[in-house]
Amino acid sequence: MIKKVLIGRENLTLDDFIAVCRHSAEVVISEESRKSVELSRETVKSFVENGDVVYGVTTGFGKFSEVCVTREQSIQMQRNLIVSHAVGSGEFFGRDVVRGVMLLRINNLCIGYSGVRYKIVKMMAEMLNKGVHPMIPEKGSLGASGDLAPLAHMVLPMIGLGKAEYMGEILAGRTAMEKAGIEITDLDAKEGLALINGTQVMTAVGALTIYDSMKLIDIADLAACMAFEALHGIISVLDPRLHRLRPHKGQIKTAVNMLKMLEGSMCTMKQGEGKIQDAYSLRCTPQVHGASRDALEFVKEKVEIEMNSVTDNPLIFPETGEGISGGNFHGQPVALAFDFLGIALAELADISERRLERMVNPALNGLPAFLVDSGGVNSGFMIVQYSAAALVSENKVLAHPASVDSIPSSGNQEDHVSMGTIGARKAMEIFKNTRRVLAMELMCSCQAIDLGSGKALGKATKEAYNMIRREVDKLICDREMYEDINNLENLLTHKKLNEITDNFCGGDVIDH
């Protein structure tokens, strides 16, 4: 397990990010980063002393960019920027998201093109290490100029305002900082803008989702394997020769995964042994899962680029003494990726529900109707499929891209926005729905296996079956099953089943 993450020595990785967000790894700022931060700060000081016209330093913001301000006004303007922009809505982000937002903001500032004082990034690292977590509402960002509203809520406790969670309590921001022994600060020229102008909220949400998704897709392969065994699927469709002729990496990887996990199984058959073809939900699993797997790899690449990017404005170039106002805060590069992530996850749930339906529908298999004896008296898994279908349908609505929308703001100065944070939040919700659908499929697969031929399972699927059966008993007659589903979903949430898939498939992302 990663115990310490050094900011500045090398690029922040997804594993580093998870170590800080979920396992409270210590954040340490490198000496190299300290020097870079201080150098860019000296450049900002020269702008103020010389009266140079630099956006957000000696001018107002957005539509007010043509209004010049004095040094005294600049300091008040930075505070006003935070309090006026802290207008988020909805529920608060979870602790892991908040920690991710703070970590990415520190990393952004430490690259050395933002012009803040070193004490600002040092304070944020101290907040992370001592567990002071600002309360940040989920809604209110347009995704350009970055995540202004939610990031303003992140800053409030730093100036003695807002609310923060500390030691399990939600406290006034000033109180949380005092209890943690962290001194609050005033904001100097450029600092308010540097703290809130960027894509760190959407990136934090997206990074957590892509990390979890890359673990979940191996579970999707495992669930498909167990459905193959429950339905005596034709394993010939996994033949490597077939997939080499259409060499998409994800498709090949899925087929290889499934062959490894089904090794030793007596519950599958070869083409022509009992039937000629399976339905697409079995036969085309490598093609469908593989397409989602390739999409996840694309999103992961975009997220890791964004995690290590400088996305505030203006950017300070100490080597030339310039402050250049550009558009790195615009979330479009990751907004498109997060919409793609949601679509890729929705498809995993879509095909999973179809496999589930084939197990519970007596017209599509030789099993008892809805996988229970004494049908009629018992409903069995009838409404499990019903519930899965509802989640899949919800995913279809959520998968509509957010990035194709734009509403002009700031007096039409900011006339195209990315909606990337909405896209990231939707992808996270789709992920949760998909995880639950896969839990339902796994539960139905075990029941169908119990009602089937009794032949030997594959090496990996046998281990998975045993783990699942330790959590959920075979259904003999109707009972409350929501807790059964919850128990299985917990196996996925805590990545217990990934201990099996990692052994047979090799995870693309290492869990800590």
- Identify the domain boundary among 144, 179, 198: 198
Active site residues: 55
Residue at 42 is within a domain: yes
Start-to-end CA distance of the chain, whole Å, equals 5
- Identify the domain boundary among 131, 165, 198: 198
Q: How far apart are CA 193 and CA 152, in angstroms?
A: 9
Indicate if 114 and 257 belong to the same structural domain.
no
Between the alpha carbon of residue 259 and those of residues 221, 222, 237, 254, 459, the distances in Å are 10, 10, 10, 9, 10
Indicate if 291 and 184 belong to the same structural domain.
no
- Give 406's Cβ-side CA count (13 Å radius): 14
Q: Which helix (H) or strand (E) holds 37?
A: helix 31-50
Cβ contact 484:443 at 8 Å: yes
Residue at 321 is within a domain: no
Crossing angle, helix 482-493 and helix 420-450, to 10 degrees?
Answer: 120
Q: How far apart are CA 182 and CA 176, in angstroms?
A: 9
Per the structure, how many domains does the chain have? 2
Position 283, amino acid: R
Indicate if 371 and 489 belong to the same structural domain.
yes
Residue at 428 is within a domain: yes
According to the model, what pLDDT value does residue 512 have?
Answer: 30
The radius of gyration of the chain from alpha carbons, rounded to an integer in Å, stands at 26
Cβ contact 168:179 at 8 Å: no
Indicate if 176 and 284 belong to the same structural domain.
no
Position 397, amino acid: V
Q: Where are the beta strands (DSSP E) in 399-488?
A: none
Considering only the C-alpha atoms of the chain, give the largest distance between any 2 of them, rounded to a whole number of Å.
86
CB under 8 Å, gap of 24 or more: what pairs does 2-5 form?
2/512, 4/28, 5/103
Q: How far apart are CA 467 and CA 446, in angstroms?
A: 11
Q: How far apart are CA 103 and CA 13, in angstroms?
A: 12
- Helices (H) and strands (E) counted in the chain, each on its own, are 19, 9
Q: How far apart are CA 80 and CA 187, in angstroms?
A: 10
Residue at 512 is within a domain: no
Indicate if 218 and 187 belong to the same structural domain.
no
Structure-token pair, residue 180 = 């943690």
Indicate if 55 and 79 belong to the same structural domain.
yes
Q: Which helix (H) or strand (E) holds 6?
A: strand 4-7
Cβ contact 303:206 at 8 Å: yes
DSSP per residue, 411-436: TTTB-----HHHHHHHHHHHHHHHHH
According to the model, what pLDDT value does residue 421 have?
Answer: 97
- Helix residue ranges per DSSP H, 326-419: 332-360, 382-398
Which residues, at least 6 apart from 132, have a Cβ–Cβ distance to it below 8 Å?
Answer: 157, 164, 165, 166, 176, 177, 180, 182
With H, G, I as helix, E, B as strand and everything else as coil, classify residue 245. coil
Indicate if 31 and 117 belong to the same structural domain.
yes
Q: What is the CATH number of the domain that holds 300?
A: 1.20.200.10
Which residues, at least 6 apart from 131, have a Cβ–Cβ distance to it below 8 Å?
Answer: 24, 166, 167, 180
- Identify the domain boundary among 141, 175, 198: 198
Q: How far apart are CA 334 and CA 195, in angstroms?
A: 20
Indicate if 140 and 241 belong to the same structural domain.
no
Q: What is the pLDDT along the chain (512 residues), one digit of tens a residue?
A: 789 999 986 689 999 999 999 999 999 999 999 999 999 999 998 888 887 777 777 776 666 666 777 777 778 888 999 999 999 999 999 999 999 999 999 999 999 999 999 999 999 999 999 999 999 999 999 998 889 999 999 999 999 999 999 999 999 999 999 999 999 999 998 899 999 999 999 999 999 999 999 999 999 999 999 999 999 999 999 999 999 999 999 999 999 999 999 999 999 999 888 888 999 999 999 999 999 999 999 999 999 999 999 999 899 999 999 999 899 999 999 999 999 999 999 999 999 999 999 999 999 998 999 999 888 899 999 999 999 999 999 999 999 999 999 888 887 778 888 999 999 999 999 999 999 999 999 999 999 999 987 899 999 999 999 999 999 999 999 999 999 999 999 999 999 999 999 999 864 433 33
CB under 8 Å, gap of 24 or more: what pairs does 174-179 form?
176/132, 177/127, 177/132
Indicate if 212 and 128 belong to the same structural domain.
no
Indicate if 350 and 470 belong to the same structural domain.
yes
Residue at 203 is within a domain: no
Indicate if 404 and 372 belong to the same structural domain.
yes
Q: What is the CATH number of the domain that holds 131?
A: 1.10.275.10
Domain assignment of residue 385, given as a range: 208-309+327-505
Residue 478's φ and ψ, nearest 5 degrees, are -55, 140
Indicate if 278 and 379 belong to the same structural domain.
yes
Residue at 320 is within a domain: no
Residue at 154 is within a domain: yes
Q: How far apart are CA 417 and CA 199, in angstroms?
A: 12
Residue at 319 is within a domain: no
